[in-house]
Amino acid sequence: MANLKEIRSRIASVSSTMQITSAMKMVSAAKLKKAQDAITAMRPYANKLTELLQNLSASLDSDAGGKYAEEREVKKVLVVACTSNRGLCGAFNSNIIKHCISLAETEYQNTSVSVLTIGKKGKDLLEKSFEIAANHSDIYDHLTFENAAAIAEDLMEAYISGTYDKIILVYNRFKNAATQIVTTEQFLPIVSVEGADQAAADYIFEPTQEDIVTTLIPKSLKTQLYKGIRDSFASEHGARMTAMHKATDNASEMKDELTLTYNKARQAAITNEILEIVGGAEALSN
């Protein structure tokens, strides 16, 4: 019977875990809807702003981007890694960590690589391998354009001052609840578009094309960072919902297997008791 008590205890434990994972799945599903709507609504604006900036700057001189497009010998690289503050979201965080380490060991192996983390999990894991320039885990408490713009301004200032020669973004791009794509984007310096189609770039400029581009570049960079964080935020909830869905299914299967094992053990115990009673009765009759 001790074995039966152990199985009953495991069934109760699995049932409790299944209730927790099921609740977390529903919470993530509710948060995912809001986060997905936000990034879906933002993408057309961000893409159009980037397209407009490229059309405007393509016909200017190579130094049109000014201080934001200055090409320097890359000695110091800053990687902006977007992770989450919490776990239980499958490979969401580990994919970013592995990609950052891979970049440092391959593409930037001959440079000094620092990391700016957006998300507590990224800081906890990446600080073992890199110098952490800054951590902005609290942005998820109030994920607004203004808070993301403040981080973007710090990044722009760090590039202009020469603290870093190159800044890249690494984040999970949201595709759907089950698919998140690890994405690397160059934040600074600004990358000019080769062979841009100028046929559609027929604009009337007021005051001047240079002034407009100079104004749009900081806004475009802030929008790029905000979009990356928004993408990561939606991807996090999608990954967590999927992970909790799988965990709930696995717990349900385990509970069924334990219940079957318990019933078999109980039937065996009853059979043994019956055999003992029958054997005892036969012994008395003899």
Residues forming beta bridges with residue 166, ordered by sequence position: 77
Average pLDDT over residues 41-67: 71
116-165 pLDDT tens trace: 999 999 999 999 889 999 999 999 999 999 999 999 999 999 999 999 99
Q: Is residue 51 predicted with pLDDT exceeding 80? A: no
Q: Dump pLDDT digits (tens) for 69-111.
A: 788 889 999 999 999 999 899 999 999 999 999 999 999 998 9
Total tally of structural domains belonging to the chain: 1
Count of residues making up the chain: 286
Q: Which helix (H) or strand (E) holds 173?
A: strand 166-176
Q: Please tell me which residue in 89, 113, 158, 177 is annotated as part of the active site.
A: 89
Measured CA to CA, the distance from residue 143 to residue 70 in angstroms comes to: 30
3 state SS for 210-268: HHHHHHHHHHHHHHHHHHHHHHHHHHHHHHHHHHHHHHHHHHHHHHHHHHHHHHHHHHH
Domain presence at residue 278 = no
Residue 282, in any domain of the structure: no
Hey, which residues does 65 pair with through a beta bridge? Answer: none
pLDDT at 208: 76
Structure letter (DSSP) for residue 86: S
- Give the β-pairing of 112-118 and 131-135: parallel
pTM as predicted = 0.84
pLDDT (mean) for 171-178: 92
What integer pLDDT is reported at residue 199 of this predicted model?
44
Mean of per-residue pLDDT scores for the chain: 87
Asked if residue 233 is part of any domain, the answer here is yes
Identify which has the larger pLDDT, 210 or 5: 5
Task: Specify the CATH number for the domain of residue 71.
Answer: 3.40.1380.10
Q: Does residue 8 lie in a domain region?
A: no
Structure confidence at residue 56 (pLDDT): 67
Q: In what order do the strands lie in the sheet with 76-82?
A: 131-135, 112-118, 76-82, 166-176, 179-188
Which residue range is the domain that position 209 belongs to? 23-193+201-243
Supply the pLDDT for residue 62: 47
In this prediction, residue 200 has a pLDDT band, given cuts at 50, 70 and 90, of very low
Least confident of 10-14, 21-25, 114-118, 188-192: 188-192
pLDDT at 136: 94
Let me know if 82 is a catalytic residue. Answer: no
Per the domain annotation, does 249 fall within a domain? no
